[in-house]
């Protein structure tokens, strides 16, 4: 329900300001959450049977053909973030960090969908649906990429460091 009524230029400015700011603030806050919340064995981050170790994303979404087009937001906050574009260090510590960061990245993108409702405060009701669609289009590919990468990465981690993973 629209509560605030602004001119068209102010409303458009708010659209851009909120979509530019909210995801960055949420991402920044997620960087300070403890790593233990993002362990790949936790329910939210573990691979579920229907995902078939990530293969469902290949079959249904053809992820291999477009995954490389996604941006890597891992460098936005230089000191606390982790780039996930390429895996070049196969050490146990780095694979573990990568696994945790795929979970953190997934959470960031799920949270990135949530601000869509804010637009209902200052825009007509139909705009909320447009903003939800926008949020899904922007965030779901990144969520899918994290869900696809994590089981493959976890399998590599277990193969290389089976004794340490127990």
Distance separating alpha carbons of residues 152 and 24, to the nearest angstrom: 28
CA dihedral (82, 54, 160, 68) positive or negative: negative
Which DSSP letter does residue 63 get? G
What value does the mean pLDDT of the chain take? 91
Cα end-to-end distance, the chain, whole Å: 52
Q: Say if residue 164's pLDDT is above 80.
A: no
The two tokens of residue 125 are 């009701």
pLDDT tens column, 28-85? 999 999 999 999 889 999 999 999 999 999 999 999 999 999 988 776 765 666 777 7
The two tokens of residue 140 are 């779901």
Residue scoring higher pLDDT (74 or 124): 124
| Predicted TM-score (pTM) of this structure | 0.89
| CB < 8 Å & 24+ apart, contacts of 60-69 | 61/144, 63/144, 63/145, 63/148, 66/141, 67/145, 67/148
Over range 101-122, report the average pLDDT.
95
> According to the model, what pLDDT value does residue 81 have?
64
């Amino acid at each position: 329900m629209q509560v605030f009524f602004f001119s068209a230029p102010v409303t458009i400015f708010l659209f851009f300001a909120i979509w530019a700011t909210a995801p960055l603030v949420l991402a920044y806050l997620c960087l300070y959450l403890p790593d233990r919340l993002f362990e790949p064995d936790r329910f939210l981050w573990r691979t579920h049977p229907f995902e078939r170790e990530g293969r469902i994303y290949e079959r249904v979404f053809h992820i291999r053909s477009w995954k490389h087009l996604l941006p890597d937001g891992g460098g936005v906050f230089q000191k606390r973030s982790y780039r996930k574009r390429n895996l070049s260090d196969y050490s146990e510590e780095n694979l573990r960090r990568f696994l945790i960061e795929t979970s953190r990245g997934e959470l960031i993108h799920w949270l990135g969908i949530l601000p869509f409702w804010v637009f209902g405060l200052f825009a007509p009701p139909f705009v909320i649906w447009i903003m939800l669609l926008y949020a899904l289009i922007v965030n779901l590919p990144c969520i899918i990429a994290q869900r696809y990468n994590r089981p493959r990465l976890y399998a590599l981690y277990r193969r290389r460091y089976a004794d340490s993973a127990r």
